[in-house]
Amino acid sequence: MSDVHSEELLAQVAALPALPGVYRYFDAQGALLYVGKARHLKRRVSSYFTKNHGGTRIGHMVSKIVRMETTVVRSEAEALLLENNLIKSLNPKFNILFRDDKSYPYLKITGTPTATGDAPGVVYPRMAYYRGSVDKRHRYFGPYPSAWAVKETIQLLQKVFRLRTCEDTVFANRTRPCLLFQIKRCTGPCVNLISPEAYAADVSHAEALLRGETQEVLQAMEARMMAHSDKLEFERAAEVRNQIQALSRVLHQQSIEIADDKDVDILAVRVQGGRACVNLAMVRGGRHLGDRPYFPVHVEDAAAVFEEEGGDGVEGAEGVNCVDGIDGADDGAPTKPVRRVEVLVLEAFIAQHYIGVPVPPVLVTSEPVDKALLEALGEQSGVRVTAIHQPREQRRAWLDMAQKNADLQLARLLAEEGSQKARTRALVEALDLPPEDLDQLTIECFDISHTGGESTQASCVVFHHHKMQSSEYRRYKIEGITGGDDYAAMRQVLTRRYSKVAEAAREAGGIDFAAAPPPDTSNTDGAVKPKGVARLPDLVLIDGGKGQVGVAREVFTSLGLDLTRIVGVEKGEGRKVGLEELVFADGREKVYLGKDSAALMLVAQIRDEAHRFAITGMRAARAKVRVGGGQLEEIAGVGPKKRARLLQRFGGVRGVASASVEDLITVDGISRELAEEIYRALR
């Protein structure tokens, strides 16, 4: 294998130290192939270049390596943490990857309940749903697996402790209690219907309940009730009694476990058909809050690399140790048990997931977890982490439920993927397209949206690998046309989208569009731009009939592009769904696929997504023009995050403009100086 690598690379391998560290392999284009960690860098990395891997997947990977980077660390635990930080941020092709763009929601309790002399909003803390970075001034409980779990918990606490949920600006300006007070979901602190001391006690009990201290809360409330009774404060004693009764009902209805387990994560993994699912269920404060499925990518590549190494050249697909915690390649062990793919997937998830999420003290897992990984997590978080592989009693019930949900979620994913592939194949057959590689079939669809000619926008959505690729969607702001002229708008967006394709074709003296790289959309509006050069998709769908297709034909003809790729989606009789016909720019006759056609279902799915994407962009642009959202953008020091907080707090630019300086500084990140600047700029 060494004869395909440069002398410079082999010399770099030979010079590696006998220390723990992380290594990264790159191909000729600079793409990251693999990230791994080792206790002994020189021995581990050398094993890739001294062995003959043949035509295996690891051989394929090693043959591509042209450059290597290494980082020496102090311990194997540090190497493991660094490795998975790099995996999560750099997305190497031969590692198992867990991608999740959704942050976890929290339940936030604002302010300090014992504060005196502060604003009323601080003396009477607020309960709120929260998603974002943590502020030390407030207290956060969670994370929760879903927004529903947070909101359900807030409702629970409202029933028992009746804490306020209103915004500080609303709270500060109330002159009479709101509806929540009338339905006994709030104690009315906005109009001083409860003392700060009594409210602080309710907040304290609510926090204890969220921590799982159920028995302690009940005992404290009973003691408080008896104290009021001894002082002959029978009305206040009755209020506490009612709270105890409400809490007892909630505990019964919600099936809250009064057990030793307060915070636990339950992890179940299933692998089938080359796909995997890790189902994460959360228990917080003794309450089962629900679960969330995760679907890793590159499972087959990563697992195959490990299997082809026989478990003794690469530390698993993610560089984590084997079941017994012994690094075979580093220690020279002659044999090594092959680890199951489920173990590799589970350890990859644990190592990557808890980089940015607090790890609970107990993990209940469907597969055994290496102790070295748990020690590294504990070192990172400062919490001693225990993993239980064969639980009993309540934990067993939790794990069984998580395993069942993992099975269901994976079955659903496989069914959806199978259905989407069938739709792609049906469309290829219906349009007589080359069937060689269905995964690479790329479709782009365009739609125009406006309201009476106002805020015209065009959308372009992208489909490939049998699913919509939302990261490649683009919106185009249409300018310089007569309001309501959809033909001119379509002409402009197609010209802007594909002019670089034509330019690339001219420079190359004619290129094979089907083999070209993905499109370069660096001239599009307000979105993240993918890397690459211009490419014409296999199909260009136009939401419209002969008129719109005629415009597309004119644009493609002027640019010298292939007309056979243009397909219009024309509404059928009465504009009924399922009666659409396909119109072609190259002169072919219209095609009616039939309302039950899988091909038409795919076309309709893509067309509807383009329409949805165009509508949302148009509405946002129109709202910005009408409300004046651009005014905030012109104020120095007000970035996207602060602007979003201001608009959310005050309900729009008009609300921000009418707010006082004192109101403005209550928003996170707004200093007095910036508040004064905003106050002046909007008046």
8-30 pLDDT tens trace = 888 888 889 989 899 999 988 88
- Is the residue at 249 inside a domain? yes
Residue 316 CB neighbour total at 10 angstroms: 25
Lowest mean pLDDT among 140-144, 193-197, 521-525: 521-525
Is 117 in the same domain as 89? no
Q: Span 93-110, mean pLDDT?
A: 79
Instruction: Give CA–CA dist 618/54, Å, rounded.
Output: 55
Burial 73-85 (b: 16+ CB within 10 A, else e): beebbbbbbbbbb
Helix (H) or strand (E) holding 655, with range, is helix 653-658
Q: What is the pLDDT of residue 249?
A: 63
595, 619, 643 - which closes a domain: 619
Residue 156 CB neighbour total at 10 angstroms: 21
Is 157 in the same domain as 272? no
Q: What is the pLDDT of residue 522?
A: 39
Is 113 in the same domain as 82? no
Give the pLDDT band of residue 338 (cuts 50, 70, 90): low
Is 70 in the same domain as 118? no
Question: For residue 184, what is the DSSP state?
Answer: T
**What tens digit of pLDDT does each residue of 176-196 get?**
888 898 888 898 999 888 888
Is 591 in the same domain as 668? no
Q: What is the pLDDT of residue 512?
A: 47
Q: Span 193-205, mean pLDDT?
A: 87
β-bridge partners, 458: 448, 476
Q: Span 541-553, mean pLDDT?
A: 90
Q: What is the pLDDT of residue 516?
A: 41
Lowest mean pLDDT among 267-271, 272-276, 421-425: 272-276
CB of 244 within 8 A of CB of 160? Answer: no
- Is the residue at 427 inside a domain? no
Is 375 in the same domain as 442? no
E-assigned strand segments in 465-528: 467-468, 474-477
Largest CA distance in the chain: 97
Is 452 in the same domain as 598? yes
Is 231 in the same domain as 123? yes
- Of residues 621 and 682, more confidently modeled: 682
As a whole-number percent, the residues of the chain with pLDDT over 90 amount to 13
Is 166 in the same domain as 269? no
Q: Is the pLDDT at 521 greater than 70, yes or no? A: no
**What tens digit of pLDDT does each residue of 487-512 get?**
999 999 999 999 888 887 777 665 44
Q: Is the pLDDT at 250 greater than 60, yes or no? A: no
- Is the residue at 432 inside a domain? no
Q: What is the pLDDT of residue 335?
A: 44
Q: What is the pLDDT of residue 96?
A: 85
Pairing of strands 264-272, 106-109: unpaired
Is 492 in the same domain as 550? yes
- Is the residue at 274 inside a domain? yes
Q: Count of alpha carbons within 13 Å of 188, Cβ hemisphere only?
A: 13
381, 404, 427 - which closes a domain: 404
Give the pLDDT band of residue 363 (cuts 50, 70, 90): very high
Q: Is the pLDDT at 322 greater than 80, yes or no? A: no
- Is the residue at 419 inside a domain? no
- Of residues 273 and 473, more confidently modeled: 473
Domain containing residue 652: CATH number = 1.10.150.20
Residue 237 CB neighbour total at 10 angstroms: 18
Residue 148 CB neighbour total at 10 angstroms: 12
- Residue 47 CA, chain-centre distance (Å), reads 37
Q: What is the pLDDT of residue 367?
A: 92
Q: Span 407-436, mean pLDDT?
A: 84
What's the mean pLDDT when you consider all of the chain? 79
Give the pLDDT band of residue 644 (cuts 50, 70, 90): confident
Residue matched to tokens 């069942």: 404
Q: What is the pLDDT of residue 570?
A: 87
Q: What is the pLDDT of residue 457?
A: 85
- Is the residue at 413 inside a domain? no
Q: Span 427-440, mean pLDDT?
A: 80
Give the pLDDT band of residue 325 (cuts 50, 70, 90): very low
Domain containing residue 487: CATH number = 3.30.420.340
> Helix (H, G, I), strand (E, B), or coil: what is residue 279?
strand
Instruction: Give CA–CA dist 62/55, Å, rounded.
Output: 10
Give the pLDDT band of residue 331 (cuts 50, 70, 90): very low
Q: What is the pLDDT of residue 314?
A: 37
Q: Span 634-661, mean pLDDT?
A: 79
**What tens digit of pLDDT does each residue of 580-616 get?**
889 999 888 888 887 778 888 899 889 989 988 888 7
Lowest mean pLDDT among 20-24, 207-211, 470-474, 605-609: 207-211
Is 297 in the same domain as 445? no
Q: Span 642-649, mean pLDDT?
A: 80
Q: What is the pLDDT of residue 292?
A: 87
Residue 217 CB neighbour total at 10 angstroms: 24
348, 379, 404 - which closes a domain: 404
CB of 569 within 8 A of CB of 447? Answer: no
Give the pLDDT band of residue 411 (cuts 50, 70, 90): confident
As a whole-number percent, the residues of the chain with pLDDT over 70 amount to 81
Q: Span 39-66, mean pLDDT?
A: 82
Give the pLDDT band of residue 3 (cuts 50, 70, 90): low
Q: Span 257-270, mean pLDDT?
A: 76
Q: Is the pLDDT at 370 greater than 70, yes or no? A: yes
CB of 352 within 8 A of CB of 88? Answer: yes
Give the pLDDT band of residue 629 (cuts 50, 70, 90): very low
**What tens digit of pLDDT does each residue of 152-173 get?**
888 888 888 889 998 888 888 8
- Of residues 273 and 646, more confidently modeled: 646
Instruction: Give CA–CA dist 350/611, Å, rounded.
Output: 39
- Is the residue at 425 inside a domain? no
Lowest mean pLDDT among 65-79, 266-280, 527-541: 527-541
Is 376 in the same domain as 306? yes
Q: Span 384-407, mean pLDDT?
A: 90
Q: What is the pLDDT of residue 261?
A: 62
Q: Is the pLDDT at 271 greater than 80, yes or no? A: yes
- Give this prediction's pTM: 0.59
Q: Domain range for residue 604?
A: 438-619
- Is the residue at 506 inside a domain? yes
Number of domains in the chain: 4
Pairing of strands 106-109, 139-141: antiparallel
Give the pLDDT band of residue 2 (cuts 50, 70, 90): low
- Of residues 81 and 551, more confidently modeled: 551
